[in-house]
Amino acid sequence: MPLGCYASPVVNDEFAARKVVTEVLGHLERRRIDIAHDERAVRLEVERSLEPLRAAYCETGLPIPYFAALEREVRASLPRRWQAAARPFTGLEARGRPSVAKRA
């Protein structure tokens, strides 16, 4: 059975969209206070978070077009959507208001 570019017929969950997006979101959250109000900084941090993921993906020998498409999707939607939520949340924190997590 031909496997194309894959070295194994086993599906690799390490680079599933869900996992990649979670990694990028975690990176953004760690930098949230410094970047939430700066669109350019958010986009730069998205790029920084994708670099090690891309390098790890390339080492696997899996098809590059998959990860390239995933990166395009992340760049196109994640920064704007994350910032729309992070900006007001960070503002509330700066004013000393209770966070959503404390209310739950």
Residue 88 is predicted with a pLDDT of 93
pLDDT (tens digit, 9 = 90+) per residue, 16-53? 999 999 999 999 999 999 999 999 999 999 999 999 99
Domain residue limits at 44:
15-95
Q: Considering its fold, how many domains does the chain have in total?
A: 1
For 75-98, what is each residue's pLDDT tens digit? 999 999 999 999 999 988 888 865
The H or E element spanning position 97 is none
54 falls within a domain: yes
Question: Is 9 within a domain?
Answer: no
**pLDDT band, residue 102 (cuts 50/70/90):** low
In a domain, 100, yes or no: no
Which residues are within 8 A (CB) of 83 and not within 5 positions of it... i.e. 6 or more apart? 36, 39, 42
**Which amino acid is it at 83?**
Q
Higher pLDDT, 67 or 102: 67
Residue 96's pLDDT is 81
